[in-house]
Copies of this chain bind each other. A is one copy, B any other.
């Protein structure tokens, strides 16, 4: 069933108009731009041609089957549209209209009418208040926000918010390298919920990491069980607002979310392999780490930093995230100080300013990272940089050399800013080589902490 929402052979769009500017035309425009190869069927009372495609007055007029209908029409017309789905044998629909459980008691009552209409017509629905799905593998997209095709990759997103098929998707396609597999923006979840999509993604070979945003689930116990099961094969990163009373009220207004106890929910989630995060930045930060890095064997981090200030910030962040910074071994120290002034010494975190002055950036970073990675009691590495003409070198080349020598150890990077063009260039060099780059030490350490959290949970399951 979920296949129809991500890989339909044919999709009908209700609300398409001959005027190019209507919301209902945007999904068609997106589908064409994404290169979707299935059949696209615009629905419009007048029929005719829309965006070069033959339009039909209604679903019942379409010859051949329609796997999915996307209703970009006002809320008043949803029930009759579902009846038409029933008559035409269309079994799956996405409903974009808002004004249901997100809009007070009257809206909630209307949503119950929609649920009843869906049931009596045997139609599974996503929404209302949903902007639907993206599947990069087949160029499928239902968003009513103009998007550009985006790179395929291992990250799939299940969210109540439409942001993930709006601004976030545009950010992803214009600047991120790891790529998306599938996105589902569920809205009010009158029928299809994160339960359905999570179970689907569990078996989806294209999905390596799941990023989940939920404002509350109907059956906490089943949800937690499912997350624990999915976590056995892929990490699930979770944003769940509602730590405050006002936040829970807002969630309820947004999608009619069930309030429930935030503490109980988070407590139960903590028993699974799920990785709870505080906000969307951290959600993508952690998803990226999972997309790029192997899982570490433990919680011990080696830090190499151009800035001494970064060393203390990194150590503080490690403590806050359950990571440790083991001391350098005597062998490491001997290896790392060879050829340096006699007074040069290092700890972990290692301040390598003096080493850079003595032997340049590439040599200094390589030596310290190599020394640390050689230690059995160091499981992952963080390299901290800043960008200026004096600090230019083949950074991706050096990190890659370490990764080839120590393929089992995750290497993360923080670049503490530089001129905007330089920062972009570094980002492309590092992330182009699938080396995760973060704009602050705290965010990199949070991502390392997520790798460790999931990895240690997974080890305990065996």
Q: Hey, which bits of chain A sit against chain B, CB under 8 A?
A: 23, 26, 98-99, 102-104, 106-107, 144-148, 159-163, 166-168, 170-171, 173-175, 213, 215, 241-251, 253-255, 278-281, 307-316, 318-320, 324-325, 341, 343-345, 347, 349, 351, 353-354, 357, 386-391, 415-423, 439-442
Contact = CB atoms under 8 A, between A and B. Distances in A.
Contacts of A388: 145-147, 166-167, 170
B354 A312 contact: no
A442 B255 CA distance: 21
Given A241-B313, A390-B146, A420-B175, A246 B170 contact: no
A250 B103 contact: no
A395 to B, nearest CB: 13
Given A99-B343, A280-B416, A439-B281, A244 B309 contact: no
Contacts of A325: 246
A244 B315 contact: yes
B386 A168 contact: yes
A242 B170 CA distance: 39
Contact of A345 (B103, B255, B440): B103
Given A146-B388, A253-B347, 17 more contacts: A99-B343, A99-B344, A163-B309, A166-B391, A167-B391, A167-B415, A168-B417, A174-B421, A241-B312, A241-B313, A243-B320, A244-B315, A244-B320, A247-B315, A247-B316, A247-B319, A250-B349
A173 B419 CA distance: 7
Given A161-B307, A171-B420, A312-B241, A146 B389 contact: yes
Given A248-B312, A354-B99, A145 B279 contact: no
The 10 closest A-B pairs by CB, nearest first: A254-B308, A167-B386, A161-B309, A246-B315, A244-B319, A241-B312, A171-B417, A250-B311, A174-B419, A247-B315
A389 to B, nearest CB: 4
A241 B416 contact: no
27 contacts: A23-B357, A98-B353, A98-B354, A104-B343, A104-B345, A107-B343, A146-B388, A146-B390, A163-B310, A163-B386, A167-B418, A168-B416, A170-B388, A171-B418, A174-B420, A174-B422, A175-B419, A243-B319, A244-B318, A246-B316, A246-B325, A251-B308, A253-B308, A253-B347, A254-B308, A281-B439, A281-B440
Q: Which of A166, A246, A319 has the most CB of B within 10 A?
A: A246
